[in-house]
Chain A
């Protein structure tokens, strides 16, 4: 192939666009109708790769509508991985989604724990309590677990898109609950970050001593539960628990 050629490499797969991504990766982007369908395609491919782990494949990163498949090009190549993508897609419509598990995340909203909550309420023209309600009233579907390590990405409905901070913070404490755009997350590990910080959970979401270090995965539900600040200290360091229901 010449370098300037269009490099869509699997025109036969009609539910996705597959592009070469350097010598050792492919970017598979879903092109079904809805966001939910696209998300399902990306995560189905990831799940199938995790299960079968074709020779030479190092790992996958599924996000909203795409999955990056990384491999060792000294062991396999693009054509072999494209075939594996095709095989994964073949089981898309026959497989039942696993039942989601629900995890409970207690959160102290606002104040020192959520330093951007007040400004955000003002910018959106609603009260802090309304933001807390909109964030916590419905369980959040985990779209992906991404960086910084352990961050559960989900959707949130606020009256308007939330901008990122003009200049990112150098360090956001682990457990901080944040929103940006129409997305919500928790900084499971301490990290620099430019999102708007609305609260913090005392729980340890990424436990480097545990196996697995993160309990929830894409497809699970997180239920954020507001708690008073005085309950924070006694829950510090506790792990995340699955809900009884």
Chain B
């Protein structure tokens, strides 16, 4: 074991992130976690970490860090450029970084958030079992210049021929985030209270408004009209809920949502689509596509299988070059 880490040179807008604060709803605490769980999960997989391991989420502005100790890293998420000491390195691939090297993530486009995972265990304070920031609780590690993000790692730098072998390039389903995003939804609990909801959602394009964040996206466009005027009682609302407000706005709830609301829910974005929405920013356009629940589940399972396949592949490769893995193999 070596104590190593990332020295933050330019933090942009980055935080230490993970899959979220699970199972704390009884205290009114939202799960939050990385906005794009596919990309963050794949970043963890590419460095052979567990899916729940902390990583860095860089929003919009990029990030510059210096490696303290030899590290194995991977950058996923929105399209971006990544360099190590000025040399371009691939995204969505494991990349060895020697101690003292400067890793730069910049030019984020077509998407909002990039994920930087480091093989090993990032040391960060947790609240209710998670590092994920929650502004309402005054909790979270937003990186500042000079911060050292420690990584307990067993990684030993290797740059021998094994690394250039095609086996070290695991087959990864790279995700892109063009605008308009095509968002798969299933029918929501109040679907039947709307007039032609399928046409209203599928035949129109919506634009992400300015007051959008990891709590939810406010979309402008032709919202489906509701026939039923009665007020709903506040009840638990799910991640991905497509709400229609009385003023005709469409709000899609994301992972930081409040736990209850009283707006009718016309549709629900699929698990896979919620990750896409986590990459949307003001001005981006969104189109909806109605799918069956079975199709949605198939996609979610295929995303998960893709991440697990990469985890297994990277573990076997770096296991074969003599690197001990977290928790052993």
Partner among A3, A22, A59 whose Cβ is within 8 Å of the Cβ of B25: A59
* Known pairs A22-B296, A146-B28; A73 contacts B137 (CB<8 A): no
A62 to B187, CA, bound (A): 22
0/1 string, A20-48, CB within 8 A of B gives 1: 11111101010000000000000000100
Could you tell me if B300 and A7 are in contact, using CB atoms closer than 8 angstroms? no
0/1 string, A147-178, CB within 8 A of B gives 1: 11111000000000000000000000000000
Number of chain B residues whose Cβ lies closer than 8 Å to a Cβ of chain A:
51
A127 to B258, CA, bound (A): 34
Could you tell me if B236 and A63 are in contact, using CB atoms closer than 8 angstroms? yes
Secondary structure class of chain B's binding surface, majority of residues: mixed
A60 (CB) vs chain B CBs: closest residue: B25
Secondary structure class of chain A's binding surface, majority of residues: loop
Could you tell me if B23 and A64 are in contact, using CB atoms closer than 8 angstroms? no
Could you tell me if A145 and B27 are in contact, using CB atoms closer than 8 angstroms? yes
Chain A residues lying within 8 Å of B146, measured Cβ to Cβ, are none
A61 to B28, CA, bound (A): 9
Partner among B238, B259, B265, B304 whose Cβ is within 8 Å of the Cβ of A147: B259
Chain B residues lying within 8 Å of A3, measured Cβ to Cβ, are 186-187, 198, 290-292
Q: How many A-B residue pairs have CB under 8 A?
A: 154
B302 to chain A, nearest CB (A): 9
Partner among A22, A78, A212 whose Cβ is within 8 Å of the Cβ of B238: A22
Q: Does B235 contact A (CB under 8 A)?
A: yes
A169 to chain B, nearest CB (A): 14
A148 to B136, CA, bound (A): 7
Could you tell me if B293 and A20 are in contact, using CB atoms closer than 8 angstroms? yes
Q: Which 7 A-B pairs have the closest CB atoms?
A: A61-B236, A68-B236, A22-B268, A23-B296, A147-B258, A66-B235, A74-B304
A interface list, Cβ under 8 A from B: 1-4, 6-7, 19-25, 27, 29, 46, 50, 58-68, 70, 73-74, 77-78, 144-151, 188-191, 206, 208, 212-214, 217
B interface list, Cβ under 8 A from A: 22-31, 127-128, 134, 136-139, 186-189, 191-192, 198, 233-241, 258-260, 265, 268-271, 290-294, 296-297, 300-301, 304
